[in-house]
Structure 1
Amino acid sequence: MAANTGKLTAAGIKASKPGKLFDGGGLFLLTRESGARYWQMKYRYGGKERLLSFGVYPEVSLAEARRKRDTAREALRDGMDPGAIKRAHKVAARVAAANSFQAVADAWMATQRRKLAPATFAKSQWLLAQVLPWLGSRPVSEIEPPELLTALKRIEARGAHETAHRTKEKCGQVFRYAIAHGIAKRDPSADLRGALAPIVRTSRAALTDPAKVGELLRAIDGYSGQHVTRCALRIAPLLFVRPGELRGMEWGELDLEAGQWRIPARRMKMRDEHVVPLSSQAVAILRELKPLTGRGRYCFPSLRSASAPMSENTINAALRSLGFDKDTMTGHGFRAMASTRLNEMGWPPDVIERQLAHAERNKVRAAYNRAQYLEERTTMMQAWADYLDGLRAGAKVVAIKRKPT
């Protein structure tokens, strides 16, 4: 049963019974048997009676409902259908949600999954997550440089200057993806050049002096911890791969007879298969390890579960236990050690870079290098292992320059 009271009051709403209470101008409060109360407005447009909903009371107050009614009546006076306007706003909201920074970032990340190694993919996700609390729900086309800078400054305020810069780069990739798909027209990160504090870069800790390298190798030989960890420590300087590649080494990737380790593309940072020639010393360590872990998947399994690889902190923790702090030597430092010494000893830079699995910008040259340098890399890796043996034994400097061809 409808009741017309002219103007509604808070007391009248509180005492309302099932039915309609009108407030004027077409606005009324519909109270259902369940007690739920809904704001609605009757109006005519195009010769037909129509109904517009404004929300639920008390979420939408009487004052707010009246404002919504007045806005609708203004639209009617201007010859527009307030119901059509509301539907258009809903569509725009759905489009904005679909084209939010979060949605576009997720779409871009999906295209990167096959291109990036799992660890690199996870790092990219982590970097973007630094700004999602502030930018995630925003339409990507509406984000302006000051808004992006404010989010990046929050990261910078933690002292994480490099993270702020790298997050800015990832955001730029998301914006460029949006531009390519017609979702945005510009990349606001491009306007932020010089807006963040500069990064003070420091080199990764690594020993490169031959005498210090010898001391390190002798300390590793004296490591008294877990045997699997000791094997990983001993083989790390021989192979100088990235720490994640070493700890994820699988028995199925190895051909000990041929002296090769083929790391599949999915595990490589640059998503290209990488062949690591195994010196006789490396093969000996792996043969020593095989009776212990050879029945499982990983050469260096986690101490907690054979179904997972060794922790990323294990090598560094072992080095700390041997007296080498984080400013002296790290697991990643074996790469710098090998690169520095091999370059100083005259090995061709292209051969060294290919063994380090650094990306070659020129794709044609990259394919050529992969085909050409395996034999030279095999020779270099054996010479490097022999050189380390000499340092371990206390030799001053052992020349291991490439043999003339």
Structure 2
Amino acid sequence: MLTTSKINSLKAKEKPYKVSDAHGLHIYVRPSGTKTWRQKYRINGKEKLLTHGKYPFTSLAEARKLRDVALALLEKGNDPAKAKRQAKAQLSNTFGNVAKEWFDKEEINWKPIHSNKVWRQMERDLFPILKDQPIDQISPTDLLEVLKKVEARGALDVAARLRQRCEVIFKHAILTERAQTNPATQLVGVLKTKKVKHLNALEAKELPAFFSKLEGFDSHAIVKAATKIVAHTFVRSQELRFTTWAEIDFENHLWTIPAERMKTQAADHLIPLSDQVIELFTILQQHNGSREYVFASPQRPKQPISTNAMIQLLYRMGYKNKATVHGFRTTASTFLNESGYNADAIERQLSHGERDKVRAAYNRSEYLAERTRMLNDWSRYLASMNENVIPLKTNKSEN
């Protein structure tokens, strides 16, 4: 029988060799010096081999225990190698492992801030209970119990998002043949829902008074110009703030927002620029033409204007709880849809388009001609505004 001192004295040779312990257990020494525990056994008339790890990571005492477990399985007519494979498969079949696989597959399409948020939520709310559970043994009741705890602290939106994420995680498990049912789909409509509160937005009829007040309001020209450009182009605040001069093509009246700044990160977003918006960018050149950012902060020229610069302007103008920067997207979308413009062109301008990167790359210029005409019409409408609104000409007859 082997002893620890004897195992330690075993030296590598030109060819691999083995030294027996007892009941089929032996240590296998390779020319590299690596020592591996192996166990020879027979089942159904066939000789088979089972490994029990490497020495010294698996000690002599541990190897004997593993051998005895295998012998006990043989006594019951079970194949130890098959049992080992099943145990390994069961380990990879946990909710935590499947969730990590799904996360690794999806995060390449996400921005780091979103990726970190998704993972933190799963670590905080799902993993403490579900991480080590076999995914095919989690019932709707099990999942509901976890989500109810999130719901109980008033985080209704988080609970709803976690249910949605669980749904795609279980779908991944089903597609990889590690589960047969999706308990998350059975919980649709079961959780409490938060009443949707839409972002405050002005109606088109309120725009003349707004622009009249904005024109004479005491605020920095950069912030005022940024607010006007959002209204004309209905881009998101984040997409606008970090704009560099390289993105503005004055000659072709085109603004190219790079994919990494877009919400979906699918492809660059092309914004046709009307004469009115080109004029606003020209004014901005007088202030920030030598700086990196088009909307450089008046106080910190090496940085863009703050996240709150435009919303604070709206608040000081008296529009708190009446209007938001994001609300200009709603105002434009509603009015242009009601005026008969192509709904697909409006959606593309709002960058509600394709999330798939390949398709988005092909579609980035989609509806560009229509969007150019639409934004020129919209800018002329905004520029013509005074207390007596001049209606935007309907486009219904052209569609």
Give TM-score, length-normalised by structure 2: 0.70
Whether contact under 8 Å (1:127, 1:166) holds in the other structure is: no
* Residue 333 of structure 2: aligned partner: 339
Deviates more, 1:193-202 or 1:277-286: 193-202
2:86 and 2:292 mapped to 1: Cα distance? 51
Please give the root-mean-square deviation of Cα atoms over the aligned residues, in Å: 4.2
Identical residues among aligned pairs (%): 34
Secondary structure at the residue paired with 2:154? coil
Partner of 1:207: 202
Q: Do residues 220 (structure 1) and 197 (structure 2) align?
A: no
Match of 2:347 in 1: 353
Q: Give the SS at the match of 2:384.
A: helix
CA distance 1:217–1:92, shift in 2 (3 Å):
farther
Deviations 1:39-75 (A, max 9, x none): xxxxx97287996469xxxxxxxxxxxxxx9xx9999
Q: Does residue 395 of structure 2 align to residue 402 of structure 1?
A: yes
Inter-partner Cα distance in structure 2 for 1:367 and 1:78: 57
What's the counterpart of residue 46 of structure 1?
23
The one of 240, 243, 246 aligned to 1:249: 243
Is 2:184 the counterpart of 1:189? yes
Aligned residues: 340
Counterpart residue number, 1:275: 270
The CA deviation at 1:384 is: 0.8
- Letter of the 1:105 partner, please give it: A
Stretch moving more, 267-276 or 125-134: 125-134
Match of 1:135 in 2: 130
2:248 aligned partner, one-letter code: L
**Does 1:374 find its partner at 2:351?**
no
**Does the aligned pair in 2 maintain the 1:155–1:164 contact within 8 Å?**
yes
Q: How far apart are 1:89 and its partner, in Å?
A: 8.2
- d(CA) in 2 for partners of 1:303 and 1:141? 57
Q: Classify 1:76/1:302 alpha carbon distance in 2 versus 1 (closer, same or farther; 3 Å).
A: farther
**Which residue of the partner structure matches residue 157 of structure 1?**
152
For residues 320-371 of structure 1, give each alpha carbon's deviation from its aligned partner in whole angstroms, at most 9, with x where no partner exists.
Answer: 222212x321121010000111122232323222222223699999899765
Question: Is 2:296 the counterpart of 1:319?
Answer: no
Give a deviation string over 1:113-146, Cα, whole Å, max 9, x none: 3434556545544554543444345444443322
Work out the CA distance in 2 between the residues paired with 1:307 and 1:107.
40
Quote the offset at 1:243 in angstroms.
Answer: 2.4
**1:166–1:288 Cα change, 3 Å:** same
1:232, distance to aligned residue in structure 2 (A): 1.6
In structure 2, the partner of 1:5 is none
Cα distance, 1:304 vs structure 2: 7.8
1:260: Cα distance to partner?
A: 0.7
What pairs with 1:60-75 in structure 2 (closer than 5 Å)?
none
Q: Write the distance in 1 (CA, Å) between the matches of 2:25 and 2:329.
A: 78
Matches of 1:252 and 1:237, distance apart in 2: 22
Greater displacement, 393-402 / 98-107: 98-107
On the 8 A contact 1:104/1:174 being kept in 2, the answer is yes
The alignment partner of 1:272 has SS state of: coil
Contact 1:232 1:300 in 2 (8 A): yes
Distance apart, 1:389 and its partner CA: 1.9
SS of the residue corresponding to residue 113 of structure 1 reads: helix
Instruction: Give the deviation of 1:277 after TM superposition.
Output: 0.7
Matching of residue 171 in structure 1 with residue 148 in structure 2: no
Given residue 385 of structure 1, which amino acid in structure 2 is its aligned partner?
S
CA distance in 2 between partners of 1:186 and 1:197 (Å): 23
Query: Distance between the aligned counterparts of 1:104 and 1:310, measured in 2?
Result: 42
TM-score, scaled to structure 1: 0.69
More deviation in 295-304 or 276-285? 295-304
Unaligned runs of 5+ in 1: 1-43, 55-68
Shift of 1:299: 2.4
What is the CA–CA distance in structure 1 between the aligned matches of 2:88 and 2:182, rounded to whole Å?
A: 22
Conservation of the 8 A alpha-carbon contact between 1:116 and 1:266: no
Partner of 1:233: 227
How big is the shift at 1:262? 1.5
- 8 Å Cα contact 2:268/2:361 also seen in 1: no
Is the Cα–Cα contact under 8 Å of residues 354 and 369 in structure 1 kept in the other structure? no
* Structure 2, unpaired ranges of 5+: 1-20, 27-58
Distance 1:152 1:240 in 2: 36
Q: CA–CA distance in 2 between the matches of 1:242 and 1:124?
A: 22
Which position in structure 2 is the counterpart of 1:34?
none
Amino acid at match of 2:282: R
Trace 1:43-122 onto structure 2 (pairs within 5 A): 46=23, 52=61, 92=87, 96=91, 100-116=94-110, 121=115
- Determine the C-alpha separation between the residues in 2 that align with 1:309 and 1:143: 48
Task: Tell me whether 99-108 or 245-254 shows the greater mean CA deviation.
Answer: 99-108
Which residue does 2:140 correspond to in 1? Answer: 145
C-alpha displacement at 1:281, in angstroms?
1.6
SS at match of 1:276: strand
Q: Shift of the alpha carbon at 1:197?
A: 1.4
Moved more, 192-201 or 300-309: 300-309
**Displacement after TM superposition at 1:169 (Å):** 0.8
Task: Give per-residue Cα distances to partners, 1:216-251, cap 9 Å, x unaligned.
Answer: 223333443444322221211011012222223232
- AA aligned opposite 1:320: Y
| Alpha-carbon distance change, 363 to 287 in structure 1, aligned in 2, over 3 angstroms | closer
Q: Cα deviations across residues 134-187 of structure 1 (Å, max 9, x unaligned)?
A: 434544444332232222222222323233212211221122223323444432
Q: Distance in 1 between matches of 2:151 and 2:73?
A: 49
Distance 1:301 1:124 in 2: 31
Displacement of 1:253 in angstroms is: 1.8
